[in-house]
Structure 1
Amino acid sequence: MQIRNSSNDIKILKNPTTASLPRGTGGRSSFNGKVCTIFGCTGFLGKYIISPLAKTGTQIIIPHCGNNYEAARLKVNGDLGQIIFLPMDLRDEDVIRNSVKYSNVVINLIGRNWETKNYTYKDVHVDGAARIARICKESGVERLIHFSHLNASPQPKPIFKEGGSKVLKAKYYGEQAVKREFPNVTIIRPSLIYGSGDEFMQAYCYSRWRRVMNNLLLYKMGKECIKMPIHGKDVGIGVAACVEDPNTAGKTYQFVGEHAFILYDLMTWLIKKTNIHHKHINHVVVDSKYFFFYYTYLKILESMPGAPISRLCTECYEMDNTSDTVRPELPMLEDLGIKQANFEAMAEFEIKYYNRFAIQMVANRFNPYLPIPESVNDYNF
């Protein structure tokens, strides 16, 4: 069955039934004709990807593993019946095939910054990504969007670990594997993504595990590391633009922030805004080489069962201290016609509630006998 879309191009319906036809007046209560399966949606980035898609009437299928309640919170992003949840195992091809058989768009967000007893980096970033791409091709999926990393490379520059980051290396080979299975794939290489519940800025702002003797430890104090953070909302809007524009198929996009920051300056700004420094305790950024036991400290934390505490492991530390590198020959987020949000305004909003005076004020609501800090009036909440 063939229909004509708004651009006067002929579109072949994958499932020629009345349920496949766009209907409604637009918005989250309508159906725009797209069914999108999003793998790895229960992570930090998932809510930012779902929101711009669901509000335009895209039906979304979310395969998930683990606790059902981690996925259930995403249900409010779409209208009733527009978001469907399916249990999934990355090694089970039948489950993956069942997840994509009704979809014309598939987005793969699956990634892991540490290895577990069940999955290695190769299992997740290479074999799993290739498996999803192959099944999508066999199932007749029209568009595949695969998330990689801005610094993905076959030989990443070593910062803290010998041989460099294993995640960045696995991300690169995952890109190559996906291209072999699905040549028309759209690859997105994001830089550091921040937002509500992110694993970088808020981890440094709040976690006491990240501070050793009241110091934030960075490689060479972070003065040789460049970061170009981008908000998760902008990433989600960029993904929605890729879904809507068929000309993005087969291209690799770099999603980076408008401004480049030295990591030392970024961390100093975070300390100032969250005010974790105290008149008796001065939190500063120091060079990790002066703490010879820090590598052992990371190894001990990552050897504990479960996920590393506050992402404290050798691999995450390596990636945190790796500079963002942009390739000029690849298109950027701005090439999709998207204007990014202001970093300082958005980041300050996200970390506002990590200000120690704000935490004290929340505590005072439950205990009126606690004194209010003297300088609390100097801050706007």
Structure 2
Amino acid sequence: MAGLTVRGGLPILKLPSGSLGAAAIAAQPYSSEVKPRSINLAAMKRGKGGRSSFSGDVVTVFGGSGFIGRDVANRLGKNGSQIIFPYRGDHYKMMRLKVVGDLGQVLFCPFELQDEDSIRRAVARSNIVINLIGRGIETKNFSYEDVNVTGPAKIAKICREMGVKRLVHLSHINARAEPKTAFMKEGSKFLKTKYEGELAVRSEFPDATIFRPADVYGQMDQFINQIFSKLLRNGSKVPLFMKGQYTVKQPVFHSDLVTGIMNSLYDPEAVGQTYEAVGPDRFAMNDLIRYMFEQSGRNKEEWQFEITELMLEPRTFAKAFFGGVMPWGGNRTWNQFNIDTLERMSISDESEGLPNLTDLGVKLSRVVDKMPWELEPINNYKYLIIEDPAEVPKIDPPTPLGFVEERHMIAQRERGLINLLPAGIV
């Protein structure tokens, strides 16, 4: 048999003997005999660090177009990670994320939360997966169970099967099997499913790192937008459960939460750990809301700002119901506002003594240092030019609560709406 060879004796074409004039040339499938090998991404690191380098990490970020997802994407691009963004719906919503990394470092992958094959494609080449998918309201397509339990469990299961090394999952500070209640008899369904989602993720991926954030504030967030939403307030009146006097909140700055997530990716002690992502100070809801409205130019004297009792404001419940059932505008127009949102706003942030962001080396930002800048876009008087510094209104900052004060508030809250009666009647 005649044939063609390259230097070294490896045949590349074989010609059948006895029929050189015929055009019968058989190709040999030598390439199929080569066994695939696993790729060590860490050995492929390139550059000195930064967006034009490759850190050796390929990270899939579910929910990358959201409030927290955008910040995480920017940090990942900054340290030279290659990022895969699974998305559903219109891909144009993801285009703003192309600039977080250098050319070829930012990739997009269509997926559906119910489709395991699409999830598998999204994580197949990643050694880190971050699940930031979340929804404050239920829709006709996705229930709380779908988003908070079934979806995360499916992602965790596939990550384990595909050999993903690190998985980060986002929960809620008040996620409990039986969450505290305000006016809903069975408590928040959102918080219940968040807790069930934690258990489901732990069952499928025991080494997952779980974060339990309190209300996260920053520009384009849900916390500030919900507080100032017309669905909550009635004109200049802001209804709060028990006027917010017995509800304690511990909001966390968005950059602090993202720093904690990033630090956990490279901390071996974070494997299989649950962290509480809360701010450094605890405030009475009443005092915090008062500060936010005054800081945005909406005080009692000029804007007739007033905090009223939520249980005496049927209009707010009607608007919350409307916001939860509307088939459009749930995120950008109604800011994911429904009756369950009112319930979550009406209960205090409670710690279970788990590690927090400071254990990950995060220096926490205080509300009085960050909130004024975050409220500037909605400041009533931002168009004014103040020439004399003496004309700048003096805003009293919210007062952080001490241990004794908070215990007294908890005891008072147990009395219920009786607290709203004048002192002489009770």
State the distance in 1 between where 2:306 and 2:277 align. Answer: 30
- Which residue in 2 is equivalent to 1:321? 346
- Which residue in 1 is equivalent to 2:16? none
Q: Percent same amino acid at aligned positions?
A: 38
How far is the alpha carbon of 1:19 from its aligned partner? 8.8
- How many residue pairs get aligned? The number is 354
Residues 54 and 77 of structure 1 are in contact (CA less than 8 Å); yes or no, is this contact kept in structure 2? yes
State the distance in 2 between where 1:283 and 1:323 align. Answer: 23
How far is the alpha carbon of 1:379 from its aligned partner? 4.0
How far is the alpha carbon of 1:93 from its aligned partner? 0.7
State the distance in 2 between where 1:373 and 1:339 align. Answer: 33
Identify which of 126, 148, 170 aligns with 1:125: 148
State the distance in 2 between where 1:189 and 1:290 align. Answer: 32
State the distance in 2 between where 1:51 and 1:374 align. Answer: 37
Structure 1 374/51 Cα, relative in aligned 2: closer, same or farther at 3 Å? closer
Deviations 1:33-78 (CA, angstroms, capped at 9, x unpaired) = 1111010111111122122222111111110112223221122222
Deviations 1:309-361 (CA, angstroms, capped at 9, x unpaired) = 23331011111222111111x11110111112232121111111211111x45
Residues 97 and 139 of structure 1 are in contact (CA less than 8 Å); yes or no, is this contact kept in structure 2? yes
Query: What are the equivalent positions in structure 2 for 1:90-239 lying under 5 Å apart?
Result: 90-205=113-228, 207-239=229-261
State the distance in 1 between where 2:366 and 2:320 align. Answer: 34
- Which residue in 1 is equivalent to 2:360? 336
Identify which of 288, 293, 301 aligns with 2:310: 288
- Which residue in 2 is equivalent to 1:55? 78
Question: The residue matched to 1:211 in structure 2 has which SS?
Answer: coil
Q: In structure 2, what residue type is equivalent to 1:83?
A: V
State the distance in 1 between where 2:125 and 2:201 align. Answer: 21
Residues 212 and 274 of structure 2 are in contact (CA less than 8 Å); yes or no, is this contact kept in structure 1? yes
Identify which of 83, 87, 94 aligns with 2:110: 87
- Which residue in 1 is equivalent to 2:377? 353
Deviations 1:278-320 (CA, angstroms, capped at 9, x unpaired) = 7564011111122244323322332222244233310111112
Question: The residue matched to 2:94 in structure 1 has which SS?
Answer: helix
Residues 357 and 373 of structure 1 are in contact (CA less than 8 Å); yes or no, is this contact kept in structure 2? no
Residues 202 and 351 of structure 1 are in contact (CA less than 8 Å); yes or no, is this contact kept in structure 2? no
- Which residue in 2 is equivalent to 1:28? 51
State the distance in 1 between where 2:336 and 2:306 align. Answer: 20
Unaligned 5+ segments in structure 2 are 1-36, 394-426
- Which residue in 2 is equivalent to 1:247? 269
State the distance in 2 between where 1:123 and 1:166 align. Answer: 12
Question: The residue matched to 2:181 in structure 1 has which SS?
Answer: coil
Residues 152 and 200 of structure 2 are in contact (CA less than 8 Å); yes or no, is this contact kept in structure 1? yes
Question: The residue matched to 2:308 in structure 1 has which SS?
Answer: strand
How far is the alpha carbon of 1:18 from its aligned partner? 7.2
State the distance in 1 between where 2:41 and 2:198 align. Answer: 36
Residues 150 and 254 of structure 1 are in contact (CA less than 8 Å); yes or no, is this contact kept in structure 2? yes
Structure 1 221/83 Cα, relative in aligned 2: closer, same or farther at 3 Å? same
Q: In structure 1, what residue type is equivalent to 2:344?
A: M
Residues 209 and 310 of structure 1 are in contact (CA less than 8 Å); yes or no, is this contact kept in structure 2? no
State the distance in 2 between where 1:53 and 1:174 align. Answer: 25
Residues 139 and 325 of structure 2 are in contact (CA less than 8 Å); yes or no, is this contact kept in structure 1? no
Question: The residue matched to 1:107 in structure 2 has which SS?
Answer: strand
TM-score w.r.t. length of structure 2: 0.78
Q: In structure 2, what residue type is equivalent to 1:378?
A: E
Residues 49 and 235 of structure 1 are in contact (CA less than 8 Å); yes or no, is this contact kept in structure 2? no
How far is the alpha carbon of 1:213 from its aligned partner? 3.9
Q: In structure 2, what residue type is equivalent to 1:322?
A: I
Question: The residue matched to 2:108 in structure 1 has which SS?
Answer: strand
Residues 50 and 236 of structure 1 are in contact (CA less than 8 Å); yes or no, is this contact kept in structure 2? no
State the distance in 2 between where 1:375 and 1:304 align. Answer: 47
**Bigger radius of gyration, 1 or 2?**
2
Deviations 1:131-159 (CA, angstroms, capped at 9, x unpaired) = 00000011000111111111100111111
Structure 1 188/17 Cα, relative in aligned 2: closer, same or farther at 3 Å? closer
Q: In structure 2, what residue type is equivalent to 1:88?
A: F
Question: The residue matched to 1:210 in structure 2 has which SS?
Answer: coil
Moved more, 92-101 or 341-350: 341-350
How far is the alpha carbon of 1:122 from its aligned partner? 0.7
TM-score w.r.t. length of structure 1: 0.87
Identify which of 383, 391, 398 aligns with 1:378: 391
Unaligned 5+ segments in structure 1 are 1-13, 362-371
State the distance in 2 between where 1:377 and 1:99 align. Answer: 56
Moved over 6 A (4+): 372-377
How far is the alpha carbon of 1:377 from its aligned partner? 8.3
Question: The residue matched to 1:340 in structure 2 has which SS?
Answer: coil
Moved more, 64-73 or 221-230: 64-73
